[in-house]
Each structure stands twice: as structure tokens, then as C-alpha cells.
Structure 1
Amino acid sequence: MNRLRHALCAIAAVLSSGAVPAVASAADTASSRAPIEQFFANPQFARTALSPDGRFLAAISGAPGRRDVLAVVDLQSKALKIVAGYSNVDVLAFEWVSAGRLLFSVSDKQVGPDGAYLAGGLYAVDRDGADLRQLAAQNGNSGAPVVGSRLQTQRLLPWYAGMLGQRGAQDSDWAYVELPDIGSAGTMQAVDLLHLNTRTGQTRKVPRPGPVYRWLLDDAGEPRLALAAQDGVTRVHYRDPANGQWRVLASFDSYTGGPQAFEPLGFGSDGVLYVGKNDGRDTMALHTFDFATGKVNPQPLIVTDGYDFDGVPVGHRGKLLGFTLLTDAYSSVWFDKDMAALQKKVDALLPGTNNLLSVASRSDAPWVLVRAYSDRQPSTWLAYHVASGALSPVGGAHPAIDPARMGRQQPVKYKARDGREIPGLLTLPPGGGKGLPLVLLVHGGPYVRGSSWGWDAESQFLASRGYAVLEPAFRGSTGFGRAHFEAGWKQWGLAMQDDIADGARWAVAQGHADPKRICIMGASYGGYATLMGLVRDPDLYRCGVNWVGVSDINLLYSGHWSFESDLGAAWKKFGMPVLVGDPVKDAAQLKATSPIEQAARITQPLLLAYGGADLRVPIVHGTRLRDAVTRTNKAVEWVEYPREGHGWSLPQNRVDFWGRVERFLDRHIGKDAVR
């Protein structure tokens, strides 16, 4: 693995045009602290994808001191070409339109979200850098390149047009893009789907069956499914290939689901729709949908014990090869025997990592793309030559990270006080240890899947500083079955909070944690849980770190909350009263579980950080909380990043924030704490 790491660093140096990332010096031994920048710099490789013919590899490459670029590697000749790179904007995302052409978007990653309206538009370019065309207009003075003089202004799409993020037919110059339908109030009402010619700018609008928020292409790259939400009800629309007409397959509650609910996952080459559904089980399994009966076939194809099925199909030349799925970590289930055999060969070559394979979509090719990662190894990409069995490093997300200096992570389960089993992830410092200072790292959402096994900047940074890190998947977290999800309804600050505290006590009982050195921290809902943890369990937690956290549930209803989507108002009206609490019927509960209302009970040291441009949890959540807590608690640190939104997008702010976290934890539970 060390040889692989050095090779990845060398390739990254080529892509960075001479700008090589800082690496540990000889004095930076395994016992010292790796620089914060190694954890929180932008990744040097953010994404890679094989061309449809499998001959070329495209990647977004970044490096300190220069903007992110779009590079294409000829896997046969090993020649590399930067096909899109600018001094004033970064390449943000890309898709292969065909074997010879790419669609990409740009953004200014050196501007915080307060400048998010300065969009750079969509562009297309040939894989050799020729025929660059602008396809969507710029908004504001973004400084994005203006190209394509033959393209008339009236043909440019609006600045908010975006890529679909799905693999289309990849056999022509046409690609599908999304165009939000912006209402008179400036909010998104739905999402239109356009078929766009990436050379001429010509578009064709796909008929929309209602207020669609998600489109799904079939295996041939044609629009086949559309999910629309209205008045708290989601309808799944199917476009019949025989007549091109839409019809409703199912409808169900957008937030609580129901017997008819299923999750569309993708199409096979024969038009089969693969879905995730509970169908009498607590956890969701993989099924097929029967268009003749209009129902989900009851016999599951894949059941993931203890986890809801969460996967995407992998196809090649019109054949379904298998699924890449998530349980405790990502893995692949191969229906195709050749892919199963290939997986074994790659795993034998890379025994220390989890290895995910990608294949060319439209032709037989000698190359397979491998994404390798582990709990200690950030994602790296390699090209595997099927005939020779040779692996060639392509690039790594964070090549300066030394896996030998990272901690080990393991999935764990513990019992909450009412007997419910709570999954979690435990990361220990390099070398392990007992009686360690413990950080409870609480995920946001809260009704989402938290972290999965693998290298994570936040948990590994904390572990590198000597802390044990526990990330509990408290009740309400998704991915672990229907009962676990429903058990979290209306439990903000109550049973959900108990699950987190019970995790801390479990870590103490197992000998991992020192009971007198425990801190709780998190962002968004995790920030809320941090505050309520300090309120409810003052004897358990020595300190807390809350960034961009909700400080009062009623503020979510009063207009100080935005989902930046068409579901914002519907969520408040139909989702929140059921999942979080009704502002009238549950008024007493919401007051009792409001950190602002309970601010006088927060007596422990507290670090607060908020973004001045946050639309999800506006800074009023932070300022009102700060003012309420500091009336009785002087051990409060406050930081505002004026240009940031719901989290830290700029590397310098990530480095600054985690430097503050490091010093804060050192003082209160770490190396400088009074014991």
C-alpha cells in the first residue's frame, strides 16, 4: 500500500502542473499530529469516470495553489490532457455525453455560498479539448469563461440549468439536463427535463407529469420514471415505451411512506424496474416491479440483513451485471460470473482495501476502473487491465494522508435503555487504547443515514488527536429498518437523545472511554443534539461543539428555515408535524426540548459556529442561542463565517474551524485538560 500511495502522489503532481501537496516531514513522526490541512483540503481527485468505450478516463483534479480542472487520460498511451481548466473558476462536475464528448459545469470554490448566485453555467467539450461550447448562461459576475461564438445568446439555457447526474445513451451529442421551474416567489416548483444537443444548444422538453422533483432514465438512457410530490403525496409516474404516455404506478405519503411505497433504484436492459421495498419485512429489500399487475413482485432478489437495501445497478452493453450497495460499507453483488471472478482477482491484488469496480457502459474494453478505500485509506482510483492483470494508479482524493497514521474504525451495536439496538461506528486513535477521551459525533438530518465505514476527515482528524470517536445511528436514522426510523418520530431531545447518551455510557463500560472526559459535537441536527445533550446530561458531557445547529424547533416553523427545494413548505405542513412535532398540539414538548428555552441549564464549555449565508439554519439560530446561554454561562466561544452556508465550503474555513475544535477539546478533555 505504501508503493501505491507514492505512485498516487507522483501522478497527482503531474496533474497539479508542479503544485505538489504538502507532505509530512521527517520530523513529523507517527507520534505527532498530522497537519489539519491534510484532512480538510479539497480532494485532489473528486470524481473519475470511464468513457463509454472504456479507452479514456475523465477526472476532476485539484491541487493547492490552482483551480480544479477536468483532465482526460488515454489509458492505452497513458497520455494526459487537461481539457478544461481556468484561472478564475473550478470545474465542478462532469458527465460523458459520448465516447468523444463531455458535459461539465463550473463554479468558484473560492467564493462562499453567499456568492452562490454567481453561477458559471454549463459547457461541453471534446475529449481532446476541442469544440468547447457554452450551453447555459452565466449569472452575476462569476468570471466564468464565455466560449462558443457560434452559439446565439437566445439559445443559452438559464444559469440554473444543471446536469442530470445519470448515464444517458452516450451514443450521440445529446444529453439530458435539468431545469428547475422557478415560481414568481423565487422558489422551485418542479424540475423540467430537457434533451440538449451539446454542439448546437438545441433543446427538446420532455412532457412533465405534474410537479416532478426526480427523473429516472432507463438502461437505454431514455426518460422512463418521474417522481412528483404535491400536498404531501408522492406519485410515481411511468412513461410507457409503447406510446410515450405517462401513467401513475403508485402514490404514497411523501414523508411516512405506507404499504404502497417503494424506492425506484434503476432499470435493467430488458426494461425491468428494480425497487427497494419493505413488503412485510422491517428492512427494505431489492425487488422488481411488475408492470402488468402494477405491483411490486413479492419475491426479493437481494436481502441485506439488518440494513435497508440501498444500491444502484451496474450495467454493460445492455446487460445487468449486478448492484453496488451499502450495508456497513459499500460493496458489490454480481449476478454476472465474469464480474464476480474479476472482483476476486482485484481483491487479491488489493487485500487491504474495499474495492469497487466500474465498467465501460457501451463496449467491451480492456480496462476496469477500481475505487479502493478503507477506514484508514481515503479513496484512490486505479485502472485494472483485464488481460494482463496489471493495476495502474490513477489518482487519490487525499494522497498526503498516510494510512499507517490513521485510526481503525469498526461498526458496533449497543443497547439503549429501552432495549432498542443502536448501530454505530467507533473510531480509535492509531494504536488503540483504553480509557480514552471520547467524542460523540452526532450526524445531521436527522432522518437520514449517517456515516458508513470508511475514511472520514472528521472522525479521523479527531482520532489523530488522541480521541475515541463514537458516531451513533440513533433511532430515527434511516437505513436500519422501518421500526428504527419510526421510533424517532417526535423524539427530538427525548429518546433520540437518550440513544446518544447510552452510547457514551456503553463506550465507558467497554473500557474505551474515560467517563470524566466526554464531549458531544455535531452539525445541523447534530448541533441540536449537542445542545440538548448538555441540557439533559450535564454530568455526562464535559463540553460541546455545535456548528450550524438548530437551536429551537419553533424557529423551524416561523420562517427561519429553508430546504432550498420545492418541498420546503410541504415539509413544514405535512412532514414536520408528524416527524418532529406539531407547533400547537405538541407546544409543551417543543418548549421542553428547545435549547433556547433551556439555555440556562447549559453550564458546560460550549463552542458555537454558524454561517452568515446559511439558508438551511439561518444565523438567527446561533445568535439567539449565544445571547441566551451567555447570560449564565461565560465559557462560550463564538465564531461566524460570514460567507458560509450550512457547513464550511471553503478549505481555509474548514482548517480554521477544526483548529478551533482541536484547541477547545485539548483544553477540556484532551492533553491540556485538568484531570
Structure 2
Amino acid sequence: MIRYVLPVLLFAGALPAHAQAPVKETPLIERAKLFGNPSKSGGKLSPDGRWLSWIAPRDGVLNVWVAPANDLAQARPLTEEKVRPIRSSFWSPDSTTLLFIQDKGGDENFLLYGVNVASGKQINYTPFEKTRVRIVQISSKMKDRILVGINNRDARWHDVHSLDLASGKLTLVQQNDGYGGYVADELLNLRIASKARTDGGMQYFRLSDGKVESTPLAEVGLEDAQTTSPLGFTVDGKTLYWTDSRGRNTSALLAQDVASGKTTVVAQDPRTDIADALYDMRTGKVQAYTVNYLQQEYLPLTDELKADLAFLKKNTKGQFTVTSRTDADDKWLVAVDAVTAPPSSWLYERKTKKLTRLYVTRPELEGAPLVPMHAQQIKARDGLTLVSYLTLPQASKATAGGKATQAVPMVLLVHGGPWARDTYGYNGYHQWLANRGYAVLSVNFRGSTGFGKQFISAGDLQWGRKMHDDLLDAVQWAVQSGVTTADKVAIMGGSYGGYATLAGMAFTPTTFACGVDIVGPSNLFTLLQTIPPYWEAGKQQFYKRMGDPTTEEGKALLKERSPLNFAQNIQRPLLIGQGANDPRVNVAESDQIVAAMAAKNIPVTYVLFPDEGHGFARPVNNIAFNAVTENFLGQCLSGRAEPIGATLKASTAQVKHGAEFAPGLKEALQ
């Protein structure tokens, strides 16, 4: 998946003279408050309930911290990364060790590390070069070890190893000669192996004692490949849960009796796929599931959690998510997202129905002028419904229902993937851009996931065509609804969203006032030539959904849909940001379109970060690029912008081309 999720980080600014009076009344939110390090994030309860861990800055860099769950004042850092932030961590089953993965400079060669909570000793469990580790299974029933996949023998395939957490010893469990992935049971026995078909579909095989059966347990074609897969086993190993779209459009939650093969529908929703659920900590049986159409909600299946979920819904302000549970299931960690307040994490004690706020991710945003997000259902020209999210600045003078009464400039913010989706909730980029005076619209265009297999398949071979038409239709809706005017819309996004930006600039050169492309592919043929080797299992699906570079017809399609080949048509200002170490969208994707535009004397500004990959993980780099972005948008759309100031010097940014085309950039480099 060519996915880049824009980091939840943002910034602020001084007021240019052209800003409108109504916007001036809204206090500017400082950059660091939106895009700097969060104060705390990624909280996790240890399985035994004794500890709480989280990610927080140590000497300005995000590291892993831990504290007794009943005394957060005793918090201490466990790691000491000096440059690259640790962005998540998770507990060992025996509650003695915190585990995390880390790469170098964004190369996505993630290695697995562990830190002992008592001693503070850190160990690299996978000390290999050019290797990417995968977690295959962590079980609450097997406390001393976990299963990991390692591709150090053959970069395309992950061999499964048992990792002894105390000693660090790796023991080969299964050599992988062509399987995309494995599913293990709670005793860490490998039970299912998946294999890609040449038509982009998938086969699932039973596996026992290291031997894969010759006849598939299940087989799905391309249409169901992204919406059907096994989720996991109950503790007794007798039931296998699936998310499954076979014979229906949206994927249902199914329970399959392993002995008989019989399946039972546990939950389904005609609007959206079901893949996330809460499982009994003792038995592994499903207790509740989530539905996420316009917003996420939990629906109980048994009486055990009904009262808890009802209590949380009543007593939290916003959308809540259960992020962590103890083995005894007596304590939960619950994240609460109110959209117009920074997300917070709460401890929920089930026996006493006690809810205690533990931390706010960005306390400096409490009381800031954050604005609501409004879910919209927009019709595409062929009748498809596009679930979208609109954030309006205060200058829109919006009604409580989210209807703008004053047109303002708009940024169309396009998600990556493209097999991913936008969701409802606090979004740092929406808040930043709205605070600068822009309406912000994020659209789940065809090909986005979560809305059934037909919606995904409607995007097949439609890069730069019907997928792009959906974005144009959404812009037209915004103009007709009075949100914006046709001459004041910018397009911006990362990964596929970067491609959509380049497509907008090259294929519809007068539609957008300007564009901001972050790690976006410009040439679909070279993109597919340079995908990482460990994506081998998904390669055929790329070919079938994007265009097949091994056929003449596919080559012609990829050529036709590549913005690089139409760079001479670009007429409007373009800003490009790229990480030099990006393994998904190679740096050449940005280099070549900048070179093509420069050869035709077409203005373009290009900022490269030598220590980043597919997106900007280091806050100083993210802030630097966004500082350039808001000044660029300010010139293009007449919104507010803080001077770039010293942000570039604090980062590793290299302006490779076109500093003169971005306001304040040349001065900031001096």
C-alpha cells in the first residue's frame, strides 16, 4: 500500500496584510502546539495492570516512558533515542519488557527492540542489515515468547521465528518460500498460510506441524482480496474469525467452526466493512465490534460489555476507543477524541465504573480555537456516495450543522493509500489549515477502503481518471454548497494524495489554484519498478488495480496516467516535499518531475529531507515543510501564514529547486 498518513502535527503564524477581517479575530494557533512533539501519546497498560507506558519527549526526542499505573508521578524514561522519534511501543505478555520497532532515517527496515522495565537494559532482538521485522503473533497465554517474521534470508519473504524475550534467542519455526503471511493460534502454533494468486486474489491454506496443505481452506478473487481475511482463533483453537465479503458487498464478521468448516455471521452492516472487534481476554470469543461509516461506534454482542460500552458512551465527550486491556480485564485504557479538543487517555476501572483522566496528548491545545469536523455524503457523477469530512474556519460563519454561509478558500486534502480511508476525529492538518482561514475537505474517493468491495473495485485501473473525477465532483459540491469559490481551491496530499496533487496539476491544469505534493509518485511505471521486495505478495494486486507493467496494454495505461508525461501542461504553482530514503515512493519520483518542469522553465519548489522516508517523522522536519507550505498557500489562496523564520535551519531541509517561487523561502535560507 502506498500510504502516507499526514502526521498529526501543525503550526501558526503572523498576519499578512491581505488577510480578511473576520479571520483576524481568530487567534492563531502556534505551530509547535500542533506539530511539535505531543506531551504524551500511545499509552498502554501492562497485561498485569501494574504499569502504564507511553511515548513522550526526552531531551526533545520521543522515547518510551513507564510509571506504576497507580502513581504516574514516578514516571521514568526507558529509552534514549537522540534523533529519530519512537512512535509506538507494546508490552511483552509477561509485563517485564516494553517492545518497539525502529528504522534508520525512514528506510522502513524496522528492527525489533526490547527494554526491561526493572533493569532498563535494552536489547536489539533482530540485529540484521536490510531487514524488516513483522510481528506474527503475541499471545496472552504464552508469556515468555512471541512469533516474529524476519526477511533477512530472502528480502521478499518473512521466515517465522520464535523469539525468547528473556534471552533474545531466535528459533526458526517456518521457512517461508512464497507465502504472504501467517496466522497463529494462542499457543503460537501456525495454523493458516496465505498466498497471492496470479490474478490478484488470495489463497488461504491450513498449516500443521510446519506442513502446508495442498488444497486451500479458502480462496478469493481480486474483488474480495482486500475485504476477506482471517482475523484469529479463539483460545481453544476451535473457532476462526474472518472479515469476509464473499457473497456480499461489505465484509461481515464471521465465525468458522474449525472442525466442520461451517461459518456463522456474527455481525454485518450494509454501509461499511467490519474488521475491528473486542474479544474476551480469557476465551478469545468476540464480545463487541466496531462500525465506522461516518463515525466509529461500538456495538456489543454479549451482555458482558454492554454496560461498560454504554457507560463510556454516556460519560465521554466525543468518540472513544478502547486501546488497551489488562489480562484480568478489570482495567481498560480508553482514548477519547472530541475533535474540538486535543485527544485524551483515560483509565476505566470496570468493577467500580470509575473513569480517570490520565493525560492529554497536547495540553497546550486546551482552550485553542479548534473547530468542528462535519461528515458529508457527496454524490459522484455516476451515483457513488463519497463519505467525506469537512472542516470550516470561523470565517465561514457556519451553522451548527456545518453549512457555510460565507465562501472561503479551500484546501482539498487527499489521503494516501489509495487503499485506506479518511475518518472522523481530531485532525491536526484540518485544524491547522482551518486556523489559517481555509475550509478543508477530505474525500473517500472510489478505491478507498471501509465501504465494501464494490467501492474498492470501482477504483480499479482508475488512477488519474474516475478516482480523480471523484475529487473534482467533491470540489464542485463544495462550490455549489457555498463553501468555496471555483478559483480558490488548492489540492494537497501525501503518497497517493501526492499523486492526486500531481494529477490535478497536470491533467486538470486550471482546476486548482496550486498544489502541495508530499512523497507522491509522478511515474506509475517507475513506481511499480521500485516497490520494496517485501511487497512481493501484493504485487499482482497492484498490477490488477493500477495497470500491469508486464503487458503492452498495461504499459500504455501507466504511461497515460503518469503526471510526469504531462508535466509540460502544469500551469499553477506547485510545491513538492520528499524524503530521500523513501522505500515506497523512491526519491526519483520527485526528482524526475522537478527536472521535467525545470527543463520547460515551469516554476516548481522542491524540498528534500535527507534523513526522512515516506513522510516526515521528525517534528523539526515536518514543521519546516509545513512552514514553507503555509506561506506557499498564503500567496496562492490569500490565507494567513507565520513567517518561515528559523524553522528550516532547525531541520535538515534541502531546497533543491525553486526557492524563489515560494514566499519567504530564499530569505529563510540565508
Q: What TM bracket, shorter-length normalisation? A: 0.7 to 0.9
2:585 to 590, 593, 617: 617
**1:440 maps to 2:412:** yes
1:520 to 484, 491, 510: 491
In structure 2, relative to structure 1, the CA distance for the partners of 1:638 and 1:262 (3 Å cut) is: closer
Which whole-Å CA distance do the structure 2 matches of 1:261 and 1:357 have between them?
Answer: 23
Which whole-Å CA distance do the structure 1 matches of 2:168 and 2:190 have between them?
Answer: 19
1:104 to 99, 105, 112: 99
**1:190 maps to 2:162:** no
**Contact 2:347–2:355 at 8 Å: present in 1 too?**
yes
The one-letter amino acid of 1:625's match is I
For 1:70, the equivalent position in structure 2 comes to 64
Which whole-Å CA distance do the structure 1 matches of 2:493 and 2:324 have between them?
Answer: 37
For 1:34, the equivalent position in structure 2 comes to 29
Which whole-Å CA distance do the structure 2 matches of 1:514 and 1:22 have between them?
Answer: 25
**1:168 maps to 2:139:** yes
**When the two structures are superposed, what TM-score results if normalisation uses the length of structure 1?**
0.81
For 2:3, the equivalent position in structure 1 comes to none
Report the count of equivalent residues. Answer: 610
In structure 2, relative to structure 1, the CA distance for the partners of 1:337 and 1:595 (3 Å cut) is: same
Quote how far apart the aligned CAs of 1:403 are.
6.0
Higher mean displacement: 260-269 or 455-464? 260-269
The one-letter amino acid of 2:310's match is K
Quote how far apart the aligned CAs of 1:516 are.
1.9
**1:354 maps to 2:322:** no
**Contact 1:53–1:364 at 8 Å: present in 2 too?**
no
**1:472 maps to 2:443:** yes
SS in 1 for 2:364: coil
Which whole-Å CA distance do the structure 1 matches of 2:246 and 2:134 have between them?
Answer: 34
For 2:296, the equivalent position in structure 1 comes to 330
Quote how far apart the aligned CAs of 1:68 are.
3.1
For 2:388, the equivalent position in structure 1 comes to 424
In structure 2, relative to structure 1, the CA distance for the partners of 1:398 and 1:226 (3 Å cut) is: farther
In structure 2, relative to structure 1, the CA distance for the partners of 1:520 and 1:77 (3 Å cut) is: closer
For 1:496, the equivalent position in structure 2 comes to 467
For 1:6, the equivalent position in structure 2 comes to none
Deviations 1:554-586 (A, max 9, x none): 2234x3x22352427x61x56315533555114
**1:344 maps to 2:310:** yes
**1:390 maps to 2:358:** no
The one-letter amino acid of 2:35's match is F
For 1:486, the equivalent position in structure 2 comes to 457
Alignment of 1:193-208 (within 5 A): 193-208=160-175
The one-letter amino acid of 1:113's match is G
For 1:60, the equivalent position in structure 2 comes to 55
Which whole-Å CA distance do the structure 2 matches of 1:235 and 1:134 have between them?
Answer: 37
**Contact 2:567–2:593 at 8 Å: present in 1 too?**
yes
For 1:134, the equivalent position in structure 2 comes to 123
For 1:288, the equivalent position in structure 2 comes to 255
**Contact 1:169–1:221 at 8 Å: present in 2 too?**
no
Quote how far apart the aligned CAs of 1:598 are.
1.4
**1:123 maps to 2:123:** no
Quote how far apart the aligned CAs of 1:275 are.
0.7
**Contact 1:137–1:159 at 8 Å: present in 2 too?**
no
Deviations 1:606-645 (A, max 9, x none): 1122222222222222222123224455442222222322
Quote how far apart the aligned CAs of 1:204 are.
3.2
1:562 to 531, 550, 554: 531
The one-letter amino acid of 1:86's match is E
Quote how far apart the aligned CAs of 1:588 are.
4.4
Which whole-Å CA distance do the structure 1 matches of 2:40 and 2:184 have between them?
Answer: 27
Higher mean displacement: 656-665 or 300-309? 300-309
For 2:16, the equivalent position in structure 1 comes to none
For 2:611, the equivalent position in structure 1 comes to 643
The one-letter amino acid of 2:501's match is T
For 2:280, the equivalent position in structure 1 comes to 315
Quote how far apart the aligned CAs of 1:539 are.
3.6
The one-letter amino acid of 1:262's match is T
Which whole-Å CA distance do the structure 2 matches of 1:22 and 1:40 have between them?
Answer: 6
- Greater RCO between the two (CA within 8 Å, min separation 6)? 2
Deviations 1:335-391 (A, max 9, x none): 2324221122223222x21122356453253x3221111323343211123344432
Quote how far apart the aligned CAs of 1:280 are.
2.3
SS in 1 for 2:532: coil
SS in 2 for 1:405: coil
Which whole-Å CA distance do the structure 1 matches of 2:87 and 2:384 have between them?
Answer: 42
SS in 2 for 1:599: helix
The one-letter amino acid of 1:647's match is G
Quote how far apart the aligned CAs of 1:178 are.
2.7
1:408 to 372, 384, 398: 372
**Contact 2:67–2:73 at 8 Å: present in 1 too?**
yes
The one-letter amino acid of 2:121's match is L
In structure 2, relative to structure 1, the CA distance for the partners of 1:268 and 1:518 (3 Å cut) is: same
For 1:180, the equivalent position in structure 2 comes to 151
1:457 to 411, 428, 452: 428
In structure 2, relative to structure 1, the CA distance for the partners of 1:481 and 1:566 (3 Å cut) is: closer
Alignment of 1:657-672 (within 5 A): 657-671=625-639
Computed over aligned residues only, the root mean square deviation of the Cα atoms, in angstroms, reads 3.4
**Contact 2:232–2:242 at 8 Å: present in 1 too?**
yes
Which whole-Å CA distance do the structure 1 matches of 2:452 and 2:254 have between them?
Answer: 16
Which whole-Å CA distance do the structure 1 matches of 2:57 and 2:27 have between them?
Answer: 27
Quote how far apart the aligned CAs of 1:78 are.
4.8
Deviations 1:179-217 (A, max 9, x none): 22432xxxx232122222222233433235643333334
**Contact 1:378–1:401 at 8 Å: present in 2 too?**
yes
Quote how far apart the aligned CAs of 1:529 are.
1.4
The one-letter amino acid of 2:92's match is V
In structure 2, relative to structure 1, the CA distance for the partners of 1:481 and 1:228 (3 Å cut) is: same
Percent same amino acid at aligned positions? 26
Quote how far apart the aligned CAs of 1:435 are.
0.7
Quote how far apart the aligned CAs of 1:161 are.
6.9
Which whole-Å CA distance do the structure 1 matches of 2:536 and 2:52 have between them?
Answer: 37
1:85 to 72, 76, 79: 79
In structure 2, relative to structure 1, the CA distance for the partners of 1:580 and 1:159 (3 Å cut) is: closer
Deviations 1:157-195 (A, max 9, x none): x79474627541355332333322432xxxx23212222
**Contact 1:382–1:393 at 8 Å: present in 2 too?**
yes
Unmatched tracts of structure 1, length 5 or more: 1-20, 140-157
Quote how far apart the aligned CAs of 1:237 are.
3.1
In structure 2, relative to structure 1, the CA distance for the partners of 1:524 and 1:311 (3 Å cut) is: same
Higher mean displacement: 483-492 or 532-541? 532-541
**Contact 2:510–2:572 at 8 Å: present in 1 too?**
no
In structure 2, relative to structure 1, the CA distance for the partners of 1:263 and 1:519 (3 Å cut) is: same
**Contact 2:245–2:252 at 8 Å: present in 1 too?**
yes
Unmatched tracts of structure 2, length 5 or more: 1-9, 14-22, 399-403, 642-670
SS in 2 for 1:436: coil
SS in 2 for 1:300: strand
Which whole-Å CA distance do the structure 2 matches of 1:209 and 1:671 have between them?
Answer: 54
